């Protein structure tokens, strides 16, 4: 699917991977409606858009507000004339604790943002996507959505729900003009931890920041992978070698993969 002159809605467009997808889409000639709860972050995205900002609208929106989301498609259509692509990127992680120690309000918040917010966006925009000559729905899950990560079990459960919902949507829409893609990011160099209001406890002293950075995919590279996947109408988009490797490993040897990740996370859960 070509994106030039198409209208793209992107949640989480104020920072990290979402911001880079906004900038990438603008560079390719798309019109973009960037959504975030943080207005100042959206203003920075607009500043970074430079001469492409004339094709960018920014929208402060809490995607957990079902009524506000239901009214949002008409706002985008009034601004841009149509909606062709929706990218549900916004998400938060949970505090790095075991389920037994995680308060219910934190559990509810993770599901409200990661699953219900995405569902509200999908339900609100899908009727409009179905009216277009060609359209695309993109939902961002996580490698934590197919592989259990201790200390992020509720986050993983929310992303697993996104995975199965999106696979169901793909099956339901496969004979329509709406393409459906699911994105599985691995470790991305974003500020999702800070933006989620989460501290990382028990981080081993003396961790080499450069080595840590080398193990992550940069947000701009992640955006390039996602946009290229959309251009190719790929159903499954893996972002980072870690995501694609662990997907294969978990399908081949799920118990080994689970124990492997648990070993990697043990210092965070002492």
104, 120, 155, 250: which is the annotated catalytic residue? 155
* Helical axes 118-129 vs 153-173, angle rounded to 10°: 10
**Are the CB atoms for 130 and 178 separated by under 8 Å?**
yes
Beta-carbon contacts of 59 under 8 Å, excluding residues fewer than 6 positions away, are 33, 34, 35, 36, 42, 72, 75, 76
Told to judge if 120 belongs to the known catalytic residues of this protein, a careful annotator would answer no
Q: How far apart are CA 107 and CA 196, in angstroms?
A: 13
H-helix or E-strand spanning residue 225: helix 219-231
Helices first, then strands: H and E counts in the chain? 11, 7
**Three-state DSSP state, 137:** strand
Listed residue (85, 66, 79) closest to 22, CA to CA: 85
| Distances in whole angstroms, Cα of residue 21 to Cα of each of 13, 26, 32, 68, 102 | 8, 8, 10, 23, 32
**Are the CB atoms for 166 and 180 separated by under 8 Å?**
yes
Any idea which residues carry the catalytic annotation?
155
């Amino acid at each position: 699917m070509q994106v030039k002159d198409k209208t793209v809605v992107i949640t989480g467009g104020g920072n990290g991977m979402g911001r880079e997808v906004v900038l990438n889409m603008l560079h390719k000639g798309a019109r973009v409606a960037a959504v975030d709860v943080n207005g100042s972050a959206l203003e920075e995205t607009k500043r970074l858009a430079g001469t492409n900002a004339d094709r960018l609208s920014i929208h402060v929106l809490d995607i957990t507000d079902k009524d506000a989301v239901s009214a949002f498609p008409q706002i985008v259509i009034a601004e841009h004339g149509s909606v062709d692509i929706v990218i549900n990127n916004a998400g938060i992680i949970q505090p790095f604790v075991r389920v037994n120690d995680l308060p219910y309000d934190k559990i509810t918040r993770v599901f409200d943002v990661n699953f219900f917010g995405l569902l509200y966006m999908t339900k609100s925009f899908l009727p409009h996507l179905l009216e277009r000559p060609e359209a695309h729905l993109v939902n961002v899950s996580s490698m934590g959505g197919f592989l259990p990560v201790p200390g992020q079990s509720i986050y993983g459960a929310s992303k697993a729900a996104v995975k199965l919902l999106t696979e169901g949507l793909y099956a339901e829409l496969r004979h329509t003009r709406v393409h459906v893609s699911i994105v599985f990011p691995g470790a991305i160099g974003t500020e999702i931890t800070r933006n989620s209001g989460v501290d990382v406890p028990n981080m081993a002293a003396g961790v080499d920041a450069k080595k840590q950075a080398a193990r992550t995919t940069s947000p701009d590279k992640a955006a390039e992978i996602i946009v290229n996947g959309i251009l190719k109408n790929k159903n499954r988009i893996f972002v980072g070698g870690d995501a694609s490797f662990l997907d294969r490993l978990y399908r081949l040897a799920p118990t080994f993969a689970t124990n492997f990740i648990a070993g990697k996370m043990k210092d965070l859960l002492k």
